[in-house]
Structure 1
Amino acid sequence: MKNSLIISTYNWPEALALVLKSLKNQTVLPDEVIIADDGSTDETKLLIENFKKESTFPVSHVWHEDVGFTKAIILNKAIAKTEGDYIIQVDGDCIMHSNFIEDHLTFASKNCYLYGSRVNIQKPYLDALYKNQQVQFSPFSKGIKKRTRAIYSPFLSQFYKSNHQFSKKFRGCNTSYFKSDFIEVNGYNEDFKGWGREDSELALRFFNKGLKSRRLRYRGIVYHIYHHEKSKSRLELNNNIELTTIKEKLTWTANGVDKYH
């Protein structure tokens, strides 16, 4: 089974550099990496070009012009270009635990999507984070909160089983699924513009389609770098799209990934 790692980013090369550094430390490397870039400037492009030169796996940069927050669109464009059977997804501000890819692949199963834990790196620690170029953490590391999420324990993780229910703990910055399942629901709904709900609405259509979910508690960990909250000016509109998916039990979006393949 071939896998593809998708990293979404927008104009934050300092954070992306740490994510890419954590990628080098993985116990299992991806078969390919595609960076879904929602309109960053040339500084991000240069970072990716330099990373390509030293990588032992294919790295692609999928970019479109900056027209505002259109994460759903750039993710569809990136995933449409993947050659992998299995998609692992992370945001460009989420440093990966060294076992991140291995953990997602270990629990990959048909008709099931996975979602892992997110540890928060706090604002006062950012200077030290960048100065030290730190990509390894433990529950006792400085500068983090929600420390129990940083506990790595294969033993404890086995008590979390797959089930057919939607969890509000789902985050698109730490998820994985079979590409075939993504295609069957037509991917992300591109009606979502601005921050909010594009990830959870996708998971709801997975749920409506009959997919199970599994929480990777104590495995599949990422460390989220603090940033100011993005504008929530469209959150009410995005909420309404999601509520329609819930009410009508939708499994398909008309404005999805099918236009790219």
Structure 2
Amino acid sequence: MRVELIISTYNWPWALRLCLLSVLGQARRPDSLCVADDGSGAPTRAMLEAFQLEHPELPLRHVWHEDNGFQKTAILNKAVASSEADYLAFTDGDCLLSQGFVARHAAVARRDRFASGSLIRLSKAATEAVAESDVQSGAVFRQDWLRAREAFDRTTTRLKAMPWPLPAQAALDAVYPIRRTWMGSNASAFREAILAVNGFDETMVWGGEDKEFGVRLANSGVRGRQLRFTSPVVHLDHPRGYRDEEAVRRQRDMIQTARRSRKTWTEHGINPGSG
């Protein structure tokens, strides 16, 4: 099974480089890597070119379109459509992947399931404290590092960073009471399952666009599986100037409509207008 990791990004090359460094530290590296770029400028391209020269052993392709506002769903569809992998894992360029991220997503891969993990959210101060060495050594995922930077805002954050054996963490995944939704910064599915629902709805901007996609997957028979404690990622803090409360409300209604109607296909996806 060929696994590709798709990383979405927009104009934050420092964070994207940290994300890429966390990919290098994976216990099981992806077979290929795709940066789905929602219109970043020249600094991001320059960073990626430099990274490729530093690490030619990691196949990387850069899928880009012009900046026209928040169009993450559109660039993800381009990445999915152009991929040659069997199984696709997704994260964002403001996330750092724990060492077992790719291995865990690949291990639970099933054609009738998608997998979805969770975040450990850093504050602005903790984000500014992250150094490349913290990512390369794995320190940023350890309890002592997180505790020192006051990242334990809730009990579940402590549990995500517990150095327990995988079976114990997997048991927590199985019993923790949470809806199994698609988490865009930490999720995976077979490419054929994504194509079967026509990918992401490109009319949706920030605010529930990943959940709507997950609802359609579930309606198609590809139900969710949580990797909340076995595959967390560390999320770097940043402002969200693109947040639109009206769009959030509209898209919340779209999610509920998709659940009620058992909708599986979007006409605004990888193959526009077909169905």
Aligned residues: 255
Which residue does 1:25 correspond to in 2? 25
Matches of 2:108 and 2:179, distance apart in 1 = 18
Establish whether residue 182 from structure 1 lines up as the match of residue 194 from structure 2. yes
Aligned mates of 1:139, 1:218 — CA distance in 2: 14
Q: CA deviation at 1:16?
A: 0.5
Can you give the 5+ residue segments of structure 1 that lack an aligned partner in the other structure?
Answer: none
Letter in 2 for 1:174: N
Task: For residues 71-121 of structure 1, give each alpha carbon's deviation from its aligned partner in whole angstroms, at most 9, with x where no partner exists.
Answer: 000000011111100000011001001111111111111210001121111
* C-alpha deviation, 1:168, in angstroms: 6.0
Q: TM-score, normalised by structure 1?
A: 0.91
Aligned to 2:218: 207
Q: State the shift of 1:152 in Å.
A: 4.5
C-alpha RMSD over aligned residues: 1.9
Query: How far off its partner does 1:238 sit?
Result: 2.0
Structure 1 match to 2:160: 149
Paired position in structure 2 for 1:129: 130
Distance 1:116 1:108 in 2: 13
- Mapped contact 2:122–2:237 kept (Cα < 8 A): yes
Structure 1 residue 251 corresponds to structure 2 residue 251: no
Per-residue deviation, 1:185: 0.6
**More helix by percentage:** 2
Structure 2: which amino acid aligns with 1:116? G
Aligned-pair identity (%): 34
Which aligned segments of 4 or more residues in structure 1 are displaced greater than 4 angstroms? none
CA distance in 1 between counterparts of 2:56 and 2:168 reads 34
CA contact (8 A) 1:118 1:223 kept: yes
Kindly indicate whether residue 19 of structure 2 is the aligned counterpart of residue 15 of structure 1: no
- Report the Cα distance in structure 2 between the residues aligned to 1:157 and 1:252, rounded to whole angstroms: 34
Cα distance per residue 1:160-219 (max 9 Å; x no partner): 349xx98266411000000010011110011113x1111000100011112222111321
Check conservation: 1:38, 1:66, Cα contact below 8 A. yes
Contact conserved, 1:166 with 1:203, CA < 8 A, in 2? Answer: no
Deviations 1:236-261 (A, max 9, x none): 222232232122110100111125xx
Instruction: Tell me, in whole angstroms, the C-alpha distance in 1 between the residues paired with 2:36 and 2:168.
Output: 33
1:196 counterpart (207, 218, 222): 207
For residue 253 of structure 1, give the secondary structure of its aligned residue in structure 2. coil
Partners of 1:109 and 1:65 in 2: CA distance: 35
Structure 1 residue aligned with 2:87: 86
Query: Structure 2: 5+ residue runs without aligned partners?
Result: none
